[in-house]
Amino acid sequence: MLRIMKNYLFPNKYKKAGLLLFIVGFTLFIMGLFFNVDVELSFLDIRMPVIMTNPLFSGRQYFQMVETNISIHLIILSIIIGGLMFGFSKERIEDELISDIRKSSLIWAIYFNYSILILSLFFLADFDMLMMTVFNVFTLLLFFIIRFEWKKHQLKTASHEE
Amino acid sequence: MKNKLKVLRAMNDLTQQDLADKIQVSRQTINTIEKGKYVPSTLLALKMASVFQVNVLEIFEIEESDWS
């Protein structure tokens, strides 16, 4: 009966691909942001339809075609999809203890992420505050993954057979 | 909650891994249950009872502190 219940997880084989996507995306993101590496590929300059746009010197417009470079879109997509695949693929043996650790790690990550956001609300200003909200696109996933992997590691090292 | 898992395993000549394989969990899960750090679900408890062919109450025993 339990086997047909949805657990919202990907098969185990997605885990490695997820990690790869996540690392590649994250590396490109950091390089572009902090090391002034040009991560925009010119062939990704496209015209695409958007629901809403708010250009600098004119008012908000709806249902427009805009010219944009979608490199950063793809990088963020790769971080999010990769992170979801890595964090939410089944373990080799996905038993109830692992589910338990997974859920508590998720709760912990949500608390931790919002704590960081609240702190930055009061201790960061202007552009840095804006940066923090940008980072928040994937920090929740990142904190969850770190916590989950750490707890699994602890479980492994603490359970040598006596 | 107290448990006699280790004793029952020894009586049936099963390693943690053997038991884990029989009830489709990881060895780590058996280990944490044995140490009393993790309380298994009813389903898992029943599976263990079925492997050892005993009553669930012969494996797990409730303690006074579990009531508080």
Tens digits of residue pLDDT in B16-34: 999 999 999 999 999 999 9
Query: Cβ contact (<8 Å) for A159 and B32?
Result: yes
Alpha-carbon distance B13 to nearest alpha carbon in chain A (angstroms): 15
Q: What is the mean pLDDT of chain A?
A: 90
Segment A61-66 mean pLDDT: 89
Neighbouring CB atoms inside 10 A of B37's CB total: 12
Contact A7, A99 (CB under 8 A): yes
On the question of pLDDT at A96 being above 80, the answer is yes
CB atoms within 10 A of CB A65: 11
Place of tokens 């010219």: A67
Using the Cα atoms of residue A153, residue A158, residue B2 and residue B7 in order, give the sign of their dihedral. positive
Q: Which residues of A touch B27 (CB under 8 A)?
A: 159, 161
pLDDT score, position A3: 56
pLDDT of residue A75: 94
Predicted pLDDT at A1:
45
Asked if residue B39 lies in contact with residue B68, where contact means CB atoms within 8 angstroms, the answer is no
Mutate to test the interface with B, among A5, A159, A162 (most CBs of B within 10 A): A159
* pLDDT for residue B49 is more than 90: yes
Q: Spell out which residues of chain A touch residue B47, defining contact as CB-CB under 8 Å.
A: none
Taking CB atoms within 8 Å and a gap of at least 24, the contacts of A151-156 are: A151/A101, A151/A104, A151/A105, A152/A91, A152/A98, A152/A101, A155/A97, A155/A101, A155/B28, A155/B32, A156/B28
| % chain A with pLDDT above 90 | 57
Residue of A nearest to B33 (CA): A97
Closest CA to A77 of A24, A116, A31, A13: A24
